[in-house]
Amino acid sequence: MSPHRFVQNFSRRRALIVTNDTRACETLISTSRKLGLDVQRCEAAAADILLLLQSLDPAQDILFIDGDLNCFQELFASPGFALPPAPVIGMVGVEAPSRLRALMQVGATAFLSKPVHTSAVFSALYLSVNEFEQKATLRRSVEELERRRRARRHVIKAVALVMKSHALDDEGAFTLLRKESMRARMSLESYCEYVAQRSAAHHRRDAVSEDLPLAADRSY
Amino acid sequence: MTAEYAIGILFSASGFYGAVGRTMRNGADLACRQVNADPASGIRLSPVFNDPGSDLAAYAPAVEDMLAANIRQIVGCYTSASRKEVIPLFEKHDALLWYPAHYEGFESSDNVIYTGASPNHHMLPLVDYLVAHAGRKAFCVGSNYVWAWESNRVLREEIIKRGGTVVAERYLALGETDVDRIIDAIFEADPDFVFNALIGESAYAFFRAFRKACIARGIDQVERYPVASCNLSEPELHAIGGDAAAGHLSASVYFASIDTRENRSFVSEYNEAFPDGPAPSAEAEAAYIAVKLLARSLAAAGTDALRAVKAHAANQTLSAPQGKVVVDPATYHTYLTPRIGRSLANNQFEVVYDAGLPVRPDPYLVNSSSTLEAATRHPNLRIVS
């Protein structure tokens, strides 16, 4: 597994700004341009924000959204609302817990206090983009682990099959399956699933195979 | 009647980086004298000098004193630490700092105009030159603060991009001169070159001790372990002294040896005005440029108020000793001409590379660096069976 590399240059990305605060918007526009981003100011009504969230491009877009907007309850209640698939920076004016919560609910991974200070923008971008990437990596990793957990029953079945067919103890059967899964360039769980399914198919044809799993189809 | 403006000149003319501070103060002073002597300039400058003595804690009170005296335009600071210390005061009081030093970038305050080199002006050409002429194995030394940390980070990224490595990084406290352990580590790591981001007395002690240690081992330091810096200028060669000052590489936008009419005139007027030195340097020229650009902006604005001066500073152009310089309206950094010099026995530099034209400043390296930080040298791979 390659080590995590942080994003440090935000040029050629797009900053989408949702705020009614003209001063904050002006500062953000000028600073973002210095950092090489394209900037676009977006409408601040709930319906427009919903459409915007749904159209975000995770590889390119960064959303700046103002916590002082009064449309969050309407937004969260809208059918089709989901966490945006791109980094979000929450702009904080009133530091009330309800507003901070709304920004977290809309996916903010960094905060930027208002009035916006130019020297805070790069830090907020760095934090939001890298935190978003780390969360995405973590989410993918959890999904993969969940998939493997669900496949655990196949491992148990395959170990039992190989113990029987090759007269091995559980350690020996597991070692053999792990070695074969690596040779087949598959995860252990996927390989065991294949072994278990193949064995079941053989049983269905009443033909018990003796040469069990070890010549796996590499193209599988 | 010619308008007269008080401007602050804030450089550490004493203390451990006093040599550089004095050359900057002299550059600014010379520019003030020239502006005042030139009827076409349309204004008179009355400089108010302050010497914080290389003491970080003395910068903010010095700026507060100037602001209290209703000075709104200040040319000053050498270290990034001192600049970061005073910027909040400029922001609070709607004043403008003209910062005339090369620095590590990643800043763009609305209250600062940066007339020194940006990282793309010195680091990128230097890395290209080193890879072509010295090799790809770097050993980084630096003073333990943001200039060296960021310079070494950029060097590491650039050298890795070109297939090289950084074999070690070593830092010394500001002003520390005990460099023997670093020198032992260099011999042990056996790099192709040393990248130096030490400043002041630490740097001078390092250059002297490293040359001496190489001679004691029978090594030709210039050939075997060339030392490259982005902050080595003529007054510092004087401070290193003796034979140890020659043969070092320096990336800069200005060397006193540049052979142009503007520079010959600048050097001769500087030497005439300050016969006791320090010698003219890139920092002196940057401070000189800052005051000249400030004078033109003040004359055009007709006031020393922040917004008006800044508006007229944008796109301000000057035929400087180094060549044409322009204030970039997008970043308020300056277009400057990158060069690389090699130090000579007469404490001057011979120019070994010249970009030939002013290069746009890129303080955040948005056009020069990769999106992702450099990969580490060793991937986390291991054989499991």
User: In sequence order, what DSSP letters do the residues of B261-328 get, joined into one string?
Assistant: HHHHHHHHHHHHH-TT-PPP-HHHHHHHHHHHHHHHHHHHHSS--HHHHHHHHTT-EEEETTEEEEE-
For an interface test with B, give the residue of A2, A8, A123, A137 to mutate (most B CBs within 10 A): A8
Q: What is the reported pTM?
A: 0.81
Chain B residue at shortest CA distance from A4: B375
For an interface test with A, give the residue of B158, B364, B384, B385 to mutate (most A CBs within 10 A): B364
Query: Are B369 and A182 within 8 A, CB to CB?
Result: no
For an interface test with B, give the residue of A1, A4, A5, A188 to mutate (most B CBs within 10 A): A5
pLDDT score, position A218? 39
Chain B residues touching residue A35 (CB < 8 angstroms)? 364, 366
pLDDT score, position A219? 35
Q: CA gyration radius for chain B?
A: 21
Q: Is B372 on the interface with A (CB under 8 A)?
A: yes
ipTM for the whole predicted complex goes beyond 0.85: no
Is B94 strand, coil or helix?
Answer: coil
Chain B residue at shortest CA distance from A59: B371
Q: Is A33 on the interface with B (CB under 8 A)?
A: yes
For an interface test with A, give the residue of B371, B378, B383 to mutate (most A CBs within 10 A): B371
Facing residue for B376 by CB, picked from A3, A10, A35: A3
Q: Is B376 on the interface with A (CB under 8 A)?
A: yes
Query: Are A178 and B385 within 8 A, CB to CB?
Result: yes
Comparing CA positions, the residue from A64, A12, A63, A17 lying closest to residue A35 is A12
Q: How confident is the model at residue A3 (pLDDT cuts 50, 70, 90)?
A: low
Q: Is B107 on the interface with A (CB under 8 A)?
A: yes
Task: Please tell me the distance in Å from A118's CA to the nearest CA on chain B.
Answer: 7
- H or E segment at B140? strand B137-143
Q: CA gyration radius for chain A?
A: 26
User: If contacts are CB pairs under 8 Å, which of residues 42-61 in chain A contact chain B?
Assistant: none
Chain A residues touching residue B371 (CB < 8 angstroms)? 7-9, 11
Is A73 strand, coil or helix?
Answer: helix
**Bridge pairing between strands A14-18 and B73-76:** unpaired
Strand order through the sheet with B323-327: B317-320, B323-327, B334-335
Task: Please tell me the distance in Å from B46's CA to the nearest CA on chain A.
Answer: 32
pLDDT score, position B104? 85
Chain B residue at shortest CA distance from A179: B385
**Mean of all residue pLDDT scores within chain A:** 89
pLDDT digits (tens, 9 = 90+) for A70-89: 899 999 999 989 988 999 99
Chain B residues touching residue A5 (CB < 8 angstroms)? 372-375
Q: pLDDT per position in chain B (385 positions), as tens?
A: 789 999 999 999 999 888 889 999 999 999 999 999 999 999 999 999 999 999 999 999 999 999 999 999 999 999 888 999 999 999 999 999 999 998 888 898 999 999 999 989 998 999 999 999 999 999 999 999 888 998 899 899 899 989 999 999 999 998 888 999 999 999 999 999 999 999 888 999 999 999 999 999 999 999 999 999 998 988 889 889 888 999 999 999 999 999 999 999 999 999 999 999 788 999 999 999 999 999 999 999 999 999 999 999 999 999 999 999 999 999 999 999 999 999 999 999 999 999 999 999 999 988 877 666 766 655 556 666 5
Comparing CA positions, the residue from B15, B30, B27 lying closest to residue B280 is B27
Task: Please tell me the distance in Å from A163's CA to the nearest CA on chain B.
Answer: 21
Chain B residues touching residue A34 (CB < 8 angstroms)? 108, 330-331, 363-364
Query: Are A9 and B106 within 8 A, CB to CB?
Result: no
pLDDT score, position A215? 45
pLDDT score, position B377? 54
pLDDT score, position B379? 52
pLDDT above 60 for A153: yes
Q: Give the CA distances from residue B366 to residues B99, B155, B163, B270, B361, in Å, rounded to whole numbers and listed in that order.
A: 21, 16, 21, 37, 10
Query: Are B375 and A2 within 8 A, CB to CB?
Result: yes
Task: Please tell me the distance in Å from B35's CA to the nearest CA on chain A.
Answer: 32
Chain B residues touching residue A133 (CB < 8 angstroms)? none
pLDDT above 50 for A192: yes
User: If contacts are CB pairs under 8 Å, which of residues 217-276 in chain B contact chain A?
Assistant: none
Q: Give the CA distances from residue B313 to residues A35, A192, B47, in Å, rounded to whole numbers and listed in that order.
A: 21, 71, 19
pLDDT score, position B166? 95
Residue percentage of chain A with pLDDT more than 90: 72
Kindly state the tokens that stand for B359. Answer: 């290069």
Query: Are B380 and A11 within 8 A, CB to CB?
Result: no
Query: Are B364 and A182 within 8 A, CB to CB?
Result: no
Q: Is the dihedral of CA A89, A93, A96, A102 positive or negative?
A: negative
Report how far residue B298's alpha carbon sits from residue B306's, in angstroms, rounded to the nearest whole number.
10
Q: Is B187 on the interface with A (CB under 8 A)?
A: no
Q: Which residues contact B193 (CB under 8 A, 6 or more apart)?
A: B130, B134, B135, B137, B138, B139, B225, B226, B227, B228
Task: Please tell me the distance in Å from A20's CA to the nearest CA on chain B.
Answer: 23
Chain B residues touching residue A7 (CB < 8 angstroms)? 371-373
Kindly state the tokens that stand for B195. Answer: 């990248």
Q: Is B373 on the interface with A (CB under 8 A)?
A: yes
pLDDT above 90 for A113: yes
